[in-house]
Amino acid sequence: MSKVMVVTSGKGGVGKTTSCASLGAALAQAGRNVVVVDFDVGLRNLDLVMGAERRVVFDLVNVVQGDAKLPQALIRDKRIDTLSLLPASQTRDKDALTEEGVGRVIDELREKFDWIVCDSPAGIDKGATLAMRFADLAVVVANPEVSSVRDSDRIIGLLDSKTRRAESGEAMEKHLLLTRLDAARAARGEMMKVEDVLEVLAIPLLGTVAESPDVLTASNLGCPITLHSPTSPAARAYTAAARKLLGETVTVTPAREKRGFMSLLFGKKAVLQ
């Protein structure tokens, strides 16, 4: 049975699009048939990270509005046959998307792919709510800083209220992916510690990705880190996260650190799974 996963965040610049591409590639490398879908209409960055910007002819808006068929807009990755991209439009705005049209496209994608990975725009506007609307599960991407964590808490609230699953009384499966983690800075109190973030957001930890120049290099070259540098720490982190999403037993063990003032400030109970 296919799964629709939204990769989302409240704040921009946390590595959401990079994470979407990396998780999608890792799932494809594990033998699943995967499509990554760019919902960031008007900006469109996922095609750049995937190295497919010159291959875009039709996009999500064209398919939603019936100007193109889905197969015309899908771009198959040249490096791995089981990975495809459905790009966003760079010349339209989010009002071009409709719930009915997006739902129809998602249903069609479910018939073709094992995993539909939706790259949500940051924030809580129409594009973000449509990206999560039909999801079966969500990966919330956050950095260990107060503004990112607070915005992610708001996104979790939307996942529990604005999705089809939530409205039908079903639980929304949610995971936290903590990116740009710097253990030394966290130890010095310059950023939130892993356990502090977990206390605030109270959702299971999917994985942590340390701050790394390898990730930026891979993105600039248009190649997900799991394909560009598969043995790098960041690639291994994304691969482990993908394995966990596939139901494999993967141990996620953030360092056991003393509680900082952030955990006292927010005071939620962490969930470690």
Residue 271 domain-assigned?
A: no
Per-residue pLDDT, 185: 87
Residue 184 domain-assigned?
A: yes
Residue 249 domain-assigned?
A: yes
Residue 159 domain-assigned?
A: yes
Q: Which amino acid is at 92?
A: R
Residue 240: its H or E element: helix 233-245
Order of strands across the sheet with 205-210? Answer: 75-76, 83-86, 34-38, 115-119, 3-8, 137-142, 173-181, 205-210
Per-residue pLDDT, 120: 95
pLDDT digits (tens, 9 = 90+) for 66-125: 999 999 999 999 999 999 999 998 888 778 899 999 999 999 999 999 999 999 998 888
Location of structure tokens 């994304």 = 238
Q: Is the dihedral of CA 82, 143, 174, 257 positive or negative?
A: positive
| Cα distance between residue 148 and residue 169, in whole Å | 28
| Cα distance between residue 225 and residue 205, in whole Å | 20
State how many domains the chain has: 1
Residue 273 domain-assigned?
A: no
List, as one string, the DSSP characters of 166-202. HHTTPPPEEEEEEEEE-HHHHHTTSS--HHHHHHHH-
Residue 91 domain-assigned?
A: yes
Of 127, 181, 157, 105, residue with least CA distance to 268: 157
What's the mean pLDDT when you consider all of the chain?
90
Residue 272 domain-assigned?
A: no
Reported as a pLDDT band with limits 50, 70 and 90, residue 260 is: very low
Reported as a pLDDT band with limits 50, 70 and 90, residue 252 is: low
Which structural domain range is residue 71 located in? 3-266
pLDDT(267) > 50: no
What CATH number did the domain enclosing 221 receive? 3.40.50.300
What percentage of the chain exceeds 90 in pLDDT?
A: 77
